[in-house]
Amino acid sequence: MHDESRRIEERVQRLHDQRIKTAVYAATVPFEVEAWQAPGEPVPFEEAAAASYEPFAMGTPWGPPWGTTWFRMRGQVPEEWAGRRVEAVIDLGFVGDWPGNQAEALVHLTDGTPLKAVNPLNQYVAIANPAQGGETVDYLVEAASNPDILADNFSRPTPLGDKLTAGDKPLYTFRAADIAILDEEVFHLDLDVQVLRELMLELGEHDPRRHEIAHALDRAMDLLDLDDVSGSAAAVREALKPVLSKPAHASAHTISGVGHAHIDSAWLWPIRETKRKTSRTFSNVTSLADEYDDFIFACSQAQQYEWVRDNYPKVWARIQESVKNGQWAPVGGMWVEADGNLPGGEAVARQFIHGKRFFIEHFGIETKGVWLPDSFGYNAAYPQLAKLAGNEWFLTQKISWNQTNRFPHHTFWWEGIDGTRIFTHFPPVDTYNARFSGEEMSRAVRNYQEKGGASRSLAPFGWGDGGGGPTREIMERARRLADLEGSPKVVVEHPDAFFAKAREEYPDAPVWVGELYLELHRATYTSQARTKQGNRRSEHLLREAELWAATAALHAPDYAYPHEKLDRLWKTVLLHQFHDILPGSSIAWVHREAEAEYARVARELHALTAEAVAALGAGGTRVFNTSPYDRAEVVRTVDGAPAYVEVPASGSAPLTGTAAPQPVTVSGRVLDNGLVRVEVAEDGTLSSVRDLRAGREVLAEPGNLLRLHTDLPNYWDAWDIDKHYKNRYTDLLDAASVTVVEQDPLIGAVRVERSFGKGSTITQTITVRAGSPRIDIETDIDWHETEKILKAAFPVDIRAPHSSAEIQFGHIQRPTHTNTTWEAARFEVSGHRWVHLGEPGYGVAVINDSTYGHDVSRTVREDGGTTTTVRLSLVRAPRIPDPEADQGRHRFTYALLPGATIEDAVAEGYSLNLPLRVAESAGAPEPVVTAEGEGVTVEAVKLADDASGDVVVRLYESRGGRATGTLRTGFPLAGAQITDLLERPLQDAEITDGAVAVALRPFQILTLRLRRG
């Protein structure tokens, strides 16, 4: 037989694309269209319905950036169309191949009922099936003209990312608004040919099935009447039935399809637009559920449900009905799909607490899994936190984006830092926006790394980010691929069902221990520094407000614990931990609003804390310590004078001051407090840091070296740091001035001022305080650089085989060498409040109050000694998607802690991030709780969320070893229970001598519910 493959393939492609697809709509009549441009921000339906509309012609430009145009569309179904399937088809002037992030619309009836959205790949709205001739159609369409920020593949900066800079030139040209007949026979023929052609092209050249399909398609195309596609479609479909009905191989891979619509809660659009995106997509999904009984849609992010509930009650009612019918599956159990590295431990716990409670309250469903496909790496505390929230499985996809190493598993047990394991899956289809194309199905099978051990994987399908979610075309593909020779089998089912089958099939799946590090998007630890600082400070202010509110509720009879205010503030912070807000990868508008929200949250939390401590009593001044560790340190009084105070953990003390162990002396540029002696060089670096207790020099080279690197990644500017950034840099050694600015027995400080680059300035105040070896570097940057990154280096004379970085509820160790590609790929990593370097008998920590990104490296000197260097990433200057990212003022503090153990690093991390509070208050109650036992660290103290008055305490083992101790209360204790994160009892806790006995494995998290006597 002659090889005619090329002729057949080209023939099928042309006939499909130019004749069959174009005949899906058999006839059209245009709508009459009128338009009204809403001024400013979006308006409610009622306001739009009452507006005055002007005639609008097709082909007319419309839509300024971030604008809203309402269109009134009126038409009539022709009499002769009676009995046919009739739809509205609307093309707003869609651009490119991006299914979201551009023009989108929600179609309403004139009574305000939302029907369905119109998106680039989902342009129809069902009118009737079958239609009645003469039927009148009257719609109000809310169209959003969102800019296509992704145009030109992020190749250049754009002002379109903020309404303040975007201008008002129309972005789109309205192409068509028609009433049309859907030719159902042609529609199905279109899908038949698509599925077979794509399968054919994925099969091997020597696979008989490929040639069988090709010749079947060729013969079928002979039956296609080019002058009457509609009339011949049935015959063509009949000819294709034999190749479409051949069953899959018995050993074929099984793909569990789960409807999905990945909607970033903010990214290339602001939060206000996400509220509308959810309503549009969820309208589409509920409409599709009405059409396909076998459709199942998985949807995470409780915050998005709440937006729809509050703003689109009719869509919310449809969601509730779909949940009842089993077609809508709430998943994920988190408030939003948060970043996997940057939120603090308690914040991750609250993501689960608020998310799972929402689904339980509104749907009576407790979600079983963590649905987090698109975060930029995942911290090693996740397995324990997920299990403590009642989860059984974990799903993500992003690790498939690794630049260097291919992750070795798709289905595995993920083990966290405490030993907890959770069953985990990465979809080998390598997308969370699948459409069941032949290429995707082939890729899933080809990629799948569990061959021989397991035989199934999951594929989330549907267009994301405002693309409208799953479509009928995708559902039709799934039906054709359910059991088709040459393809994996596709079954649409609930993700819980997939995970149950996968775990049963593969109980001895391999184990991955530790963090899931993404070898990409490493700049997300640093970009948009003010957003990250706002998050860090909000987390600690929430901790402070909860502790002192709980203290006041226990000891002040007239004080009411502010449950509702704290709940609202927590949800605001959780929202902004979304994986494109906190990482700094959103447009300017998003980060401008985030900074404003963090400022508001700070004001409210400061007020709540002040109210709580004032409620404890008037007539004095006290110092309040929110940290879980006793503190003896210098504090500034109300008038700014320093005082040395001793304050118990989670308690307070009068501001009377006590004698400092040894005064600070200042001689030239040398600061000495008897514990450390710090020499500041003429160039402003630290030329020497001598640990006087250990009798050793800490630095191997000048410390606090500020290095400015060129920072232009190959792609994804706000997301990525590529390794070549290290090759070009400037050391900032030209100090404008080095001046002693404080010389007091309790405080000595030197100020270093520099200017550089494009008018940027840095002012750093290097401070040593009495009684503490910690050297604080308070930093004020006025930043005007572009495509640069600024790092601060501390080269220490320590041979450290690994670094230890704080993460959520513990820390992880990373090798300082690069023996393997896995280690070399970790050239930029994340940590929270501290990084520790140590050798047997001695260690040093670098503490911070708002930075996350850092790198650690080591070299061997000519004298045989080893220099291990930790460098904090302070600020970047990407231009895409926000051309002004990080420009302006930044104020933060980082510190060097010589002679530090891990315990010291933990304590000082809390101390720097939870400064002592001086307040007018005479109350001197006992701390709500006091933890006794090395490594037993209290993370949160609050009243129970059910308003019962019980006290809830969350603590953990912080050193990485076993810990035993007790938790004593400052109130009569009537009972104690160990609970899950949602404060539901698991078992009674042991009480001995009026205190709760505590025994913890390494990094174990324990939540206790304490009943008051």
Place of tokens 């008055």: 949
Residue 676: helix, strand or coil by DSSP?
strand
* Amino acid at the residue 576: H
Task: Report the distance separating Cα 953 and Cα 928, nearest Å.
Answer: 10
**Phi and psi at residue 63, in whole multiples of 5°?**
85, 90
Ranges of H-type helices in 698-772: none
Question: What is the enclosing helix (H) or strand (E) of 71?
Answer: strand 67-76
The question of whether 162 is a catalytic residue gets the answer no
* DSSP state string for 108-142: EETTS-EEEEEBTTB-EEEEESSPPTT-EEEEEEE
Task: Report the distance separating Cα 592 and Cα 530, nearest Å.
Answer: 10
Residue whose C-alpha is closest to residue 411's, from 486, 298, 501: 501
- Residues ≥6 apart with Cβ < 8 Å to 770: 634, 644, 660, 661, 662, 663, 664, 673, 745, 746, 747
**Phi and psi at residue 7, in whole multiples of 5°?**
-60, -45
Helices (H) and strands (E) in the chain — how many of each? Answer: 18, 56
Put the strands of the sheet holding 54-55 in their side by side order: 54-55, 32-38, 67-76, 136-145, 103-109, 114-118
Alpha-carbon dihedral sign for residues 973, 978, 981, 982 = negative
Catalytic hit among 91, 218, 290, 374: 374
Which whole-number Å values give the CA distances from 671 to 208, 678, 794, 895, 896, in the listed order?
Answer: 82, 5, 18, 15, 14
Ranges of H-type helices in 245-326: 271-291, 302-311, 313-324
Structural contact between residues 779 and 872, judged by C-beta atoms closer than 8 angstroms:
no
Place of tokens 């509205």: 88
Residue 348: helix, strand or coil by DSSP?
helix
Task: Report the distance separating Cα 335 and Cα 567, nearest Å.
Answer: 12
**Phi and psi at residue 383, in whole multiples of 5°?**
-55, -45
Give me the helix-helix angle, 345-363 and 563-575, nearest 10°. Answer: 110
Q: What is the DSSP letter of 80?
A: G
Alpha-carbon dihedral sign for residues 324, 326, 332, 338 = negative
- Residues ≥6 apart with Cβ < 8 Å to 578: 264, 265, 266, 336, 337, 338, 339
Task: Report the distance separating Cα 242 and Cα 203, nearest Å.
Answer: 18
Give me the helix-helix angle, 184-202 and 208-222, nearest 10°. Answer: 150
Task: Report the distance separating Cα 323 and Cα 297, nearest Å.
Answer: 9
* CA end-to-end distance (rounded Å), the chain: 91
Label residue 771 left, alpha or beta by phi (over 0 means left) and psi (-120 to 50 means alpha).
left
Task: Report the distance separating Cα 768 and Cα 897, nearest Å.
Answer: 11
Residue 307: helix, strand or coil by DSSP?
helix
State the catalytic residues: 374
